Amino acid sequence: MLKKIFLIFITINLLSHCEYQPVYSNQNNIEYKIIIKDFTGDKYINNLIATSIRKSSKDSVKEVVNVSFNTKYSKIVIAKNSAGTITDYQSNAVTTFKIEKKNNSESFVVNEKFNFQKMTDKYEEKNYERNIKKNLANSVSQKLLLRLAMIK
């Protein structure tokens, strides 16, 4: 009986002193007007990233952050079968961001990779690759927004 009371007391004490906060809780707290100065590289991925950034920008805020970025997309063969036919690919999106806020300037690189198998139907493979590009762009833009949320 004494062990149960002690265990309950310790559990309540530990839980009441714990400050649980989700890791990505600051991601939606962007208080900047984000202006995209320019972007180069893969047009499809860049347009998806720019759309995501524009959705997160606050137009009523006076603080302005200028963002420019360059995306390089590549599709690399990573495996072949014994006959020499391609079986596996790797999609790689490397995005270099330059963030300017007032007098500060910061650059960082986001590298996203995804491996997938070759499909027999070329149309389905092209649609699948387009979907992969969407996911890579979404991941890159989320990392940018997380980085912007950490800027003070």
Give the pLDDT confidence score for residue 112 in this predicted structure: 94
DSSP state for residue 28 in the 8-state scheme: G
Q: Which helix (H) or strand (E) holds 135?
A: helix 122-150
Residue 98 domain boundaries: 25-150
- Specify if 57 maps to a domain: yes
Q: Which residues lie across from 65 on neighbouring strands? A: 34, 101
Residue 107 in domain: yes
Residue 20 lies in a domain: no
- What domain count does the chain have? 1
Instruction: Output the pLDDT for position 145.
Output: 87
Average pLDDT of the residues in 46-68:
88
Determine, yes or no, domain membership for 47.
yes
Bigger pLDDT: 12 vs 111: 111
**Is the confidence at residue 25, as pLDDT, over 70?**
no
In a domain, 15, yes or no: no
Provide the whole-model pTM: 0.76
Which CATH number goes with the domain that contains 110? Answer: 3.30.160.150
Residue 45 — pLDDT band, cuts 50, 70, 90? very high
Residue 1 lies in a domain: no
